[in-house]
């Protein structure tokens, strides 16, 4: 009863604020956070026809989640009569999906969680199976799909302690929402237990899909150009940085090394360039097409989809979002390429992965800018030690695989019921 009341309240609240949601979408479109040409998709109005045959819908929030599901998409498409619809919520993830989705895989922006929008979306696409990735919980969307008897699974499930505590404040609502999933594939034991407490059914531990993903791609010609330009200088990479971290990174820069900063949000490139120049560094920006020269001290990689290039140039990598209260970025991409990982204390988003990586490396956790400078200098000077630590991290994450096979098995199991 409490769950039904909570759902009714949620639906009523979302209807009440729907004018504000529409206004917010228009405002976001004006500042580049939505695609104006595809804004109708956010209202559930499709911009492409539904393909014939079986359609599997995968919803991923943003860049990291959408990249993680690419191997899954390819494997699902091995079934001849099957197509895949991928929905995401950001402009950057949409662009990456445009570049990387294979034939018979389609992208749309996810509709906002208003009943009229989700009903339009489901009326058009009529999926046979829906896979929601990590922590994408949209009550109206999920409940509408369940009402249409669409099999639902939460895959690569992640639920931070903070989110868990928030859901616990409304136990009836949480139980109603999380129970819509026929199967939940959790990344680890602690997440599995949180999902069970909130009312999820058939919770299984499958590991992390990102551990099964192939190494990030790279254009070998571009890589060779950069390597020639950089020469023998060691490279310190700061990947997916957030506001407040670049100042610390610049103050920790090691003389004689090239510092490459890849901001989480590329539009911040000019801000970071100003910070570097204020400290007297000669800097260049990737967005301007520049290649590092011999006197470049700081190179700002303010583009999307090129982390595979910059990881391969690096001797070590600092993972952003960890020196500010963001929760850290995923270290698997760096470790998979044999790059030593450094991160600050704020890694709650991926605590279990960092625990494995740091245990294998023996080092990597820092508490301050001084710690960062000291550890970076040590590994930039000692290339043999950096390679040794990187190989330990690489071996550790290779043992974390297996989620892809478990997810495919789950999809096949639920599809079999849908076909019956």
Q: What is the pLDDT of residue 420?
A: 63
Q: What is the DSSP string of 240-255?
A: EE-TTTHHHHHHTPPT
85 neighbors 129 (Cβ within 8 angstroms): no
DSSP 8-state code for residue 288: G
DSSP 8-state code for residue 286: G
Domain boundary assignment for the chain: 2-207+402-419, 220-398
Residue 149: CB partners within 8 Å, gap ≥ 6? none
Q: CA 80: distance to chain centroid?
A: 29
Q: Do you know the residue count of the chain?
A: 420
Q: What is the pLDDT of residue 30?
A: 94
25 neighbors 112 (Cβ within 8 angstroms): yes
From residue 5, give the alpha-carbon distance in Å to each of 12, 171, 180: 10, 12, 16
Name the 3-class secondary structure at 66: helix
Q: CA 336: distance to chain centroid?
A: 16
186 neighbors 205 (Cβ within 8 angstroms): yes
Q: What is the pLDDT of residue 320?
A: 97
DSSP 8-state code for residue 343: B
Interhelix angle 18-30/2-16, nearest 10 degrees? 50
DSSP 8-state code for residue 81: T
User: CA–CA separation, 258 vs 249, rounded Å?
Assistant: 12
In a 13 Å sphere around the CA of 73, the CA atoms on its Cβ side amount to 25
Q: What is the pLDDT of residue 2?
A: 63
Positions marked active-site:
65
Q: What is the DSSP string of 1-35?
A: -HHHHHHHHHHHHHHHTHHHHHHHHHHHHHTTSS-
Report mean pLDDT in 10-residue bins for the chain, 420 residues: 80 93 95 95 97 96 89 94 96 92 97 97 98 94 97 95 93 96 94 96 93 90 97 97 98 96 95 97 94 96 94 98 94 96 94 93 97 97 97 94 94 84
User: CA–CA separation, 86 vs 59, rounded Å?
Assistant: 6
User: CA–CA separation, 383 vs 58, rounded Å?
Assistant: 42
Q: Check for a shared fold between 2-207+402-419 and 220-398.
A: yes
Handedness of CA 56, 61, 66, 72 (dihedral sign): negative
Tokens 């009550």: give the residue.
139
Q: What is the pLDDT of residue 4?
A: 79
Write the Ramachandran bin of 402: left for phi over 0, alpha for psi from -120 to 50, otherwise beta.
Answer: left
Cross-strand bridge partners of residue 235: 258
Strand ranges inside 68-214, DSSP E: 82-88, 105-109, 129-133, 152-157, 183-186, 203-205
Q: Which of 158, 161, 210 is nearest to 332 (CA)?
A: 210
Percent helix / strand / coil, the chain, rounded to 5: 50, 15, 35
For 220-398, which CATH class? alpha beta
CATH architecture of 2-207+402-419: 3-Layer(aba) Sandwich (3.40)
Alpha helices in 53-105 (DSSP H): 63-68, 70-76, 91-100
Q: What is the pLDDT of residue 1?
A: 55
Cross-strand bridge partners of residue 84: 56, 105
């Amino acid at each position: 009863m409490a769950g039904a009341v909570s759902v009714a309240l949620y639906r009523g609240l979302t209807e009440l604020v729907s004018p504000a949601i529409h206004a917010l979408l228009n405002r976001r479109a004006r500042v580049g956070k939505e695609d104006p040409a595809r804004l109708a998709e956010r209202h559930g109005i499709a911009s492409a026809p539904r393909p014939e045959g079986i359609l599997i819908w995968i919803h991923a929030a943003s860049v990291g989640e959408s990249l993680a599901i690419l191997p899954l998409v390819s494997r699902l498409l091995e079934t001849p009569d099957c197509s895949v619809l991928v929905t995401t919520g950001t402009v950057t993830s949409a662009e990456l999906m445009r570049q990387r989705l294979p034939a018979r895989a389609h992208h749309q922006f996810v509709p906002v969680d208003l009943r009229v929008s989700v009903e339009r979306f489901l009326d058009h696409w009529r999926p046979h199976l829906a896979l929601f990735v990590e922590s994408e919980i949209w009550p109206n969307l999920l409940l509408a799909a369940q009402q249409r008897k669409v099999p639902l699974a939460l895959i690569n499930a992640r639920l931070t302690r903070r989110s868990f505590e928030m859901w616990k404040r409304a136990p009836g609502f949480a139980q109603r929402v999380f129970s819509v999933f026929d199967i939940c594939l959790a990344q680890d034991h602690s997440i599995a237990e949180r999902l069970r407490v909130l009312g999820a059914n058939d919770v299984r531990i499958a590991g992390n899909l990102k551990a099964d993903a192939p190494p990030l791609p790279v254009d070998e010609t571009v890589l060779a150009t950069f390597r020639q330009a950089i020469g023998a200088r060691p490279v310190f990479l700061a990947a997916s940085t957030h506001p407040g971290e670049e100042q610390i990174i610049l103050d920790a820069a090691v003389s004689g090394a090239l510092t490459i900063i890849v901001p989480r949000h590329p539009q911040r490139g000019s801000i970071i360039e100003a910070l570097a120049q204020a400290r007297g560094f000669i800097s260049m920006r990737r967005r301007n097409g520049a290649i590092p020269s011999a006197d470049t001290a700081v190179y700002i990689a303010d583009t999307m989809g090129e982390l595979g290039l910059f990881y391969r140039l690096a001797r070590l990598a600092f993972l952003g979002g960890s020196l500010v209260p963001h929760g850290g970025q995923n270290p698997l991409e760096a470790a998979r390429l044999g790059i030593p990982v450094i991160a600050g204390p704020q890694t709650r988003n991926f605590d279990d992965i960092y625990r494995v990586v740091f245990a294998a490396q023996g080092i990597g956790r820092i508490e301050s800018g001084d710690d960062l400078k000291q550890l970076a200098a040590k590994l930039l000077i000692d290339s043999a030690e950096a390679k040794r630590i990187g190989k330990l991290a690489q071996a550790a994450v290779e043992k974390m695989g297996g989620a892809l096979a478990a997810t495919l098995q789950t999809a096949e199991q639920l599809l079999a019921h849908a076909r019956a």
